[in-house]
Amino acid sequence: MKKFACLSFILVGLGVLAAGAAWAQETDAEGTKDHPLLSRMPGYYISRAENKDFDAHSFWIDGDKQVDVEGKSTHIFYVLQPNAKEPSRLEILRQYENAIKKIGGTVLVHDHDGSSYMKLTQAGKEIWVHVDAYITSQYNLWIIEKAGMEQQVVADAAAFSNDIRTTGHAAVYGIYFDSGKSAIKPESEPALAEIAKLLKNDAALKLNVVGHTDNDGTLEINMKLSEARAAAVVQALVAKYGISSARLKAFGVGPLAPVASNDTPDGKAMNRRVELVKL
């Protein structure tokens, strides 16, 4: 009888331990935490997270249009705790949408393939949010704080000269425009100064200035845009740096001469450029 009682106690004890193990809570992956802007849904832990100083993510802004947003990137992958109550997809999306609305943001697209796309402005900075809850036992959160990349690799006149001498052309990536516009942004001045230096160092050099775009938009629009951007570069070199207009000709080839795939944000960024082609 005593042996039976003792065995019963052991079995009961093991049952308690098993139940406790079933309810054990998973901890967040080491070194991860929620983004300061948004907390998580109750009952979820962080399986993994990735933070980058500069990256891009695609956002739907209406039913059939996407944009790639670049800037400081946070991607958090949340997974439901064992035995936690699983919410519906709508509940997850609505929770984030309501949170964004409360701080002055807007919902761009709701429940596109299980996702919600949102946007807000804080302190003059655009913040874009994407929640993917297609599978409700786990969901993804992307937050992009839109910003231009800090240019750390700078092409100079010597590099341009070497490229033109060896290949007949040189790609310039330091000239910036707003999307769909041809007005040169102020942060383009260092690159323009190096082009002017190249021309002043070689008085006999004449250049075709050729604008290139990615494949977003129609071919007709991109052809006109690329030529307008090239013309803006020529005008800046003539007006600000005293380069003779007789040494420069502007052309645009739109998306017709890509150097990378337009299927990725990085590829599109490489295709948006100005090239200097020796006459």
Check which CATH number belongs to the domain holding 250 and give it.
3.30.1330.60
Q: Say if residue 107 is in the same domain as residue 190.
A: no
Distance CA 230, CA 213 (A): 11
Give the burial string for 250-274 (b: 16+ CB within 10 Å, else e): bebbbbeebeeeeeebeebbbbbbb
Q: Say if residue 161 is in the same domain as residue 274.
A: yes
Tell me if 168 is assigned to some domain: yes
Q: Say if residue 177 is in the same domain as residue 245.
A: yes
Q: Which domain holds residue 34?
A: 27-146
Q: Say if residue 139 is in the same domain as residue 161.
A: no
Tell me if 18 is assigned to some domain: no
Q: Say if residue 273 is in the same domain as residue 161.
A: yes
Q: Say if residue 108 is in the same domain as residue 167.
A: no
Tell me if 163 is assigned to some domain: yes
Name the token pair of 20.
């406790």
Tell me if 106 is assigned to some domain: yes
How far CA 2 is from CA of 6, 8, 9, 130, in Å, comes to 6, 10, 11, 62
Query: How many domains in the chain?
Result: 2
Tell me if 243 is assigned to some domain: yes
pLDDT, averaged in runs of 10, over the chain (279 residues): 38 42 81 94 97 93 87 96 96 96 92 94 86 97 82 71 90 88 91 94 96 94 97 97 96 94 83 93
pLDDT of residue 273: 92
Last residue of a domain, one of 102, 118, 146: 146
Q: Say if residue 136 is in the same domain as residue 163.
A: no
Tell me if 152 is assigned to some domain: no
Q: Say if residue 181 is in the same domain as residue 139.
A: no
Tell me if 11 is assigned to some domain: no
pLDDT of residue 129: 97
Last residue of a domain, one of 146, 167, 192: 146
pLDDT of residue 31: 95
Last residue of a domain, one of 125, 146, 167: 146
Q: What is the pTM of this model?
A: 0.52
Q: Specify whether the CB–CB gap between 172 and 229 falls below 8 A.
A: no
Distance CA 36, CA 76 (A): 12
Tell me if 8 is assigned to some domain: no
Q: Say if residue 119 is in the same domain as residue 175.
A: no
Q: Say if residue 118 is in the same domain as residue 59.
A: yes
Q: Say if residue 104 is in the same domain as residue 179.
A: no
In sequence order, the 6+-apart residues with CB closer than 8 A to the CB of 112 are 60, 63
Q: Say if residue 88 is in the same domain as residue 176.
A: no
